[in-house]
């Protein structure tokens, strides 16, 4: 009965490859997010979707493309992976509107060789 | 823009010591404030929150009070345990068109020794 689940948990791949990370939430939330956590633990929002519509895109390179097939899913596809993409990526969800707490997945650790 | 500043870590304490982690913020609107905790190898968990001035959030012995006059939301616990060892994040969100985007502080690593 995991609330926010991400797959895979670990992703090791070569520079230049394309990869996807999947996220699903079973909380009935309308809003989903992707965050990036760097090696110093700093967290920064990348994208936010509300009811399958892109709301926030925080100057993320075009190589990153989120896709939301329905309210419960928000996937992240990354093209032409670069060394600097190595990080932990977290998916989160919340009810619509400000002031709502967000529920996070366990993260996907992406390592670029 | 909005920002959150936490005290520099890491913080190392002995079990049963008193904990304070300072957090101050700047915000363009009227924020809701949160503390999240990240245990090793896990995602972030909401620890506590406060949505308006003078509100006190509390959970698992941790407390933080929303101080609008000092733009602060310091985290405190009277007696820490080894199991409290984790990374703690202060964060804010503002309603309206931001759709709940969380702005995080840099995180404070807490290590508690027996």
Average pLDDT, chain B: 92
CB distance A97–B32 less than 8 Å?
Answer: no
**pLDDT given for residue B13 in this prediction:** 97
Count CB neighbours of A84 within 10 A.
9
A-to-B residue pairs, Cβ atoms closer than 8 angstroms = 77
Q: Residue A31 and residue B99: Cα distance in Å, rounded?
A: 8
Average pLDDT, chain A: 92
CB burial of residue A14 (10 Å; 0-12, 13-18, 19+):
exposed
Nearest in space to A4 (alpha carbons), one of A44, A33, A41, A46: A33
Higher local confidence (pLDDT), B66 or B94:
B66
pLDDT bin (cut points 50, 70, 90) of residue B94 is: confident
CB distance A97–B46 less than 8 Å?
Answer: no
Q: Which two tokens stand for residue B48?
A: 């506590």
Note the pLDDT tens digit of each residue in A86-108: 999 999 999 876 678 899 999 99
- Measure B6 CA to nearest chain A CA, in Å: 12
**pLDDT given for residue B5 in this prediction:** 96
Q: Residue A88 and residue A111: Cα distance in Å, rounded?
A: 9
pLDDT above 90 (res B34):
yes
Q: Which residue from B95, B98, B104 is facing A43, i.e. has the nearest CB?
A: B104
């Amino acid at each position: 009965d995991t609330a926010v689940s991400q797959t895979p948990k670990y992703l090791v791949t070569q520079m230049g490859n394309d990869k996807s990370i999947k996220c699903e939430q079973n909380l009935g939330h309308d809003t989903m997010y992707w965050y990036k956590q760097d090696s110093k633990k700093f967290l920064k929002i990348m994208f936010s979707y509300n009811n399958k519509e892109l709301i926030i895109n925080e100057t993320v390179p075009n190589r990153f493309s989120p896709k939301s097939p329905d309210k419960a899913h928000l996937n992240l596809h990354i093209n032409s992976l670069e060394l600097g993409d190595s990080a932990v990526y977290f998916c989160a969800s919340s009810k619509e509107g400000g002031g709502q707490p967000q529920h996070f997945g366990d993260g996907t650790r992406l390592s670029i060789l | 823009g909005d920002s959150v500043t936490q005290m520099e870590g890491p913080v190392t304490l002995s079990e049963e010591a008193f904990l304070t982690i300072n957090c101050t913020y700047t915000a363009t609107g009227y924020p809701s404030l949160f503390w999240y905790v990240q245990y090793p190898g896990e995602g972030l968990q909401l620890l506590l929150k406060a949505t308006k001035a003078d509100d006190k959030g509390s959970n698992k012995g941790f407390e933080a009070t929303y101080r609008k006059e000092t733009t602060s939301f310091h985290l405190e616990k009277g007696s820490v345990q080894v199991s409290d060892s984790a990374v703690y994040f202060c964060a804010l969100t503002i309603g309206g068109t931001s759709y709940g985007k969380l702005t995080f502080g840099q995180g404070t690593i807490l290590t508690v020794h027996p």
